[in-house]
Structure 1
Amino acid sequence: MTDRMSKYLHLALGWLCVLLGAIGAVLPVMPTTGFLILAAFFFTKGSPRLRQWLLDHAHFGPPIRAWEETGAIPRRIKWVSISMMMLSFLPTTLMGVSWPWIALQAVLIALGALYILTRPDA
Structure 2
Amino acid sequence: MKRPVYRALGALSVLLGVIGAFLPLLPTTPFLILAAWFFARSHPEWEARLLVHPQAGPAILAWRDHRAIPRVAKLAATVMLGISVLGSAFMLPSPWCYAPAAFAAGVLGWMWSRPSV
Kindly report which structure 2 residues correspond to 1:21-100, keeping only aligned pairs within 5 A, or say none.
21-25=17-21, 27=22, 29=24, 30-99=26-95
- Structure 1 gap segments, 5+ residues each: none
Aligned length: 116
Residue number in structure 2 paired with 1:106: 101
**Bigger radius of gyration among the two:** 1
Instruction: Supply the distance in 2 between the matched residues of 1:96 and 1:107 (Cα, whole angstroms).
Output: 14
Which amino acid in the other structure matches residue 88 of structure 2?
A: T
Flag as ranges the 4+ runs of structure 1 deviating above 3 A: none
- Cα distance per residue 1:21-71 (max 9 Å; x no partner): 22333x151322111111111112221221122112222111100001101
Q: Which of these residues, 17, 20, 24, is aligned with residue 16 of structure 2?
A: 20
Residues 50 and 96 of structure 1, relative CA distance in 2, 3 Å threshold: closer
Identity over the aligned pairs, expressed in percent? 40
Give the TM-score normalised by structure 2.
Answer: 0.88
Alignment RMSD, CA only?
A: 1.6
